[in-house]
Structure 1
Amino acid sequence: MPEQDAGRRSTSYHRAADATSIDVNRPSQARLYDLFLGGKNNFEADRRLYQELVRIAPEAPLIAAENRRWLAEAICLMVRDGGVGQFLDLGSGLPTAQNTHEIALRADPAAKVVYVDNDLTAVSHGQALLADDLHAYFADADLTDPAGVFRNPVVSGALDLDQPVGIVLGLVLHLVPDDDQVRRIIADYLETVPSGSWLAISHPVHPRDGSPLADFAGSLEDKLKDAFPDVRFRTAGEIAGLLDGLDLAGPGLVDLAGWWPANAQKLDPTGTARLLQVAAGRKR
């Protein structure tokens, strides 16, 4: 590893030794999502919540897998149509199948990816996995503090903010309940990156209109709140408001099944797939 690269990476390891302080008695969002994708880095508290959620939504593991499939398509879209060669994956969670850097490198062998998370399990595993990778980095930082993220030496050392950046916010913003705060977070990230940068977002939806989908979304939201009190699913209109000023690609903001042409759908467009809204857009 080049000396400069080693120095840049070493600054991100300041909390790795704290991994022994991980609270195994409370579910972790990162471990829970990894569990839905078939991962092994979980504890009894995570498995218990997982089982409760699957009882409500048996298709949830398939939805998680399709969210990763959507992410792969969004990354390729940014590379192919947007000329993006560097990515900031915020709230990235644990390393899993179809990691962002693996997808990006298949599309562009020179691509760089910086993962950002402050979950101790994700930090320790991510830093260990990427310690010798010349294209991928893991920053221990809080995505709700964009200024702090960009000040992080791992981020500032890896990204060239004179060039477009692909920002990924996949299934994380529902953990930030305040709408004004979420809008500020997104605005701060987009103000820091140049024109031609992209944002890809997936977010659970709750219509709050008394419909069967609203009842279903509410039951999942309530169950998640047992472990994550700040969870807030948003209406499609509220999610659309987070994307103001972006030129949306493809079908725009749609549910997960609607992203794909009919002959490429793997989910019932009238079923659980409606729970998740996805979009990718370019900063003007």
Structure 2
Amino acid sequence: MTASERLPSTAIDTTTPSIARAYDYAIGGKDNYEVDRELLRQLNQAVPEVNVIAVTNRSFLIRAVRFLATQGRIDQYLDCGSGLPTAENTHQVAQRLNREARVVYVDNDPVVVAHGRALLEENENTHFLDANIFEPQEVLESDLVREKLDFTRPLALLQVATLHHHSADFGLPPAEVMRGYIDALPSGSFVAFSHFLDPENEHSEMAHRVQSILNASTSKGFFRTRTEIMEMLDGLDLIEPGLVINDEWWPDGPNLQELPPAGHCIVAAVGRKP
């Protein structure tokens, strides 16, 4: 194990909610604490079925990686803000279709780092980098990324449900964060992306309620307009159907049930760099 892959010395804070652990709880995981479950309860109380955002987001990730591995013929992935390992992680989906596929996960939540590295110890094609995903150069210039991913040929960047936890108040504006990554990608690479949406319609009030709850905690969250989100995807040719709510990006089958309001407040896209 290299120096960049050693477990962090940072103590895990179980008194403050973590968005990664709350997300883990929302999709049925067990790597979370009462403080995380309480955050999700508050969200669900304010907006019933808000956990549909987490569920549809995981489903999009799985469909997108399948598409990238098959139609895109991608065999190397940079998964930013990977979150806690659960069923059907990026490396499991990709390596089921191509056992030689390489995946580098990036996160700096201490719980995510510890669990992620423990899970991946025996997978020689999957690696974990402890770094701030909102600092593109820190990630892209790391020895681990440069050693494990070949930037002379196409790869896939995954920014799934990450940039809506970031704002210019924390550093680079979100569009500049994405520009740093997209500029570094070789031609023919793909980006899989999802983000909280302010739909600017009857569902906006619900989005604003969730944002208020998140921003009153340490787990910040920003619901942005379609125009603001499209700025983050500049430089990419979006694969049809473009930027759509998560459930509408190439679903596995017809939607027989009406999507709850929360499902209209997160969108996804896959784009190709010319």
Instruction: Calculate the TM-score normalised by the size of structure 2.
Output: 0.93
- In the alignment, the residues of structure 1 paired with residue 72 and residue 226 of structure 2 have an alpha-carbon distance, to the nearest angstrom, of 25
Q: Which amino acid in the other structure matches residue 5 of structure 2?
A: Y
Between stretches 262-271 and 244-253, larger displacement belongs to 262-271
DSSP-derived class of the 1:60 partner:
coil
Per-residue CA distance 1:111-164 (angstroms, 9 max, x = gap): 111000000000011111111211211100110111111222221221011111
Give the structure 2 partner of residue 10 of structure 1.
2
- In the alignment, the residues of structure 2 paired with residue 112 and residue 57 of structure 1 have an alpha-carbon distance, to the nearest angstrom, of 38
Deviation at 1:63, TM superposition (A): 3.1
Per-residue CA distance 1:19-76 (angstroms, 9 max, x = gap): 5x11111011111111111111111211110111112233233332221111111112
1:186 aligns with 2:178: yes
Task: Tell whether the 8 Å contact from 1:91 to 1:143 is kept in structure 2 after alignment.
Answer: yes
Aligned mate of 2:198, from 198, 203, 206:
206
Q: CA RMSD in A?
A: 1.9
Per-residue CA distance 1:164-220 (angstroms, 9 max, x = gap): 11001111101111296211111111111200111111101114x4x4311000000
Task: Tell whether the 8 Å contact from 1:115 to 1:139 is kept in structure 2 after alignment.
Answer: yes
Give the structure 2 partner of residue 256 of structure 1.
246
DSSP-derived class of the 1:88 partner:
strand
Q: Which runs of 5+ in 1 are unaligned?
A: 1-8
- In the alignment, the residues of structure 2 paired with residue 276 and residue 95 of structure 1 have an alpha-carbon distance, to the nearest angstrom, of 21
Task: Tell whether the 8 Å contact from 1:258 to 1:269 is kept in structure 2 after alignment.
Answer: no
Give the structure 2 partner of residue 73 of structure 1.
63
- In the alignment, the residues of structure 2 paired with residue 122 and residue 42 of structure 1 have an alpha-carbon distance, to the nearest angstrom, of 10
- In the alignment, the residues of structure 1 paired with residue 260 and residue 22 of structure 2 have an alpha-carbon distance, to the nearest angstrom, of 25
Deviation at 1:228, TM superposition (A): 3.0
- In the alignment, the residues of structure 1 paired with residue 252 and residue 67 of structure 2 have an alpha-carbon distance, to the nearest angstrom, of 19
1:167 aligns with 2:176: no
Deviation at 1:229, TM superposition (A): 6.4
DSSP-derived class of the 1:190 partner:
helix
Aligned mate of 2:89, from 99, 103, 111:
99
Aligned mate of 1:146, from 136, 144, 147:
136
Give the number of aligned pairs: 272
- In the alignment, the residues of structure 1 paired with residue 59 and residue 245 of structure 2 have an alpha-carbon distance, to the nearest angstrom, of 14
Aligned mate of 1:273, from 258, 263, 269:
263
Per-residue CA distance 1:225-279 (angstroms, 9 max, x = gap): 1213643210111111211221111210001232245943266246321111100
Give the structure 2 partner of residue 177 of structure 1.
167
Give the structure 2 partner of residue 5 of structure 1.
none
Between stretches 78-87 and 192-201, larger displacement belongs to 78-87
Task: Tell whether the 8 Å contact from 1:95 to 1:125 is kept in structure 2 after alignment.
Answer: yes
Between stretches 214-223 and 256-265, larger displacement belongs to 256-265
Q: Which amino acid in the other structure matches residue 18 of structure 1?
A: S
DSSP-derived class of the 1:126 partner:
helix
Question: CA 1:146 to 1:248, structure 2 compared with 1: closer, same or farther past 3 Å?
Answer: same
Question: CA 1:189 to 1:266, structure 2 compared with 1: closer, same or farther past 3 Å?
Answer: farther
The structure in which a higher percent of residues are helix is 1
Between stretches 44-53 and 150-159, larger displacement belongs to 150-159
- In the alignment, the residues of structure 1 paired with residue 229 and residue 136 of structure 2 have an alpha-carbon distance, to the nearest angstrom, of 19
Give the structure 1 partner of residue 22 of structure 2.
32
Between stretches 22-31 and 241-250, larger displacement belongs to 241-250
Q: Which runs of 5+ in 2 are unaligned?
A: none
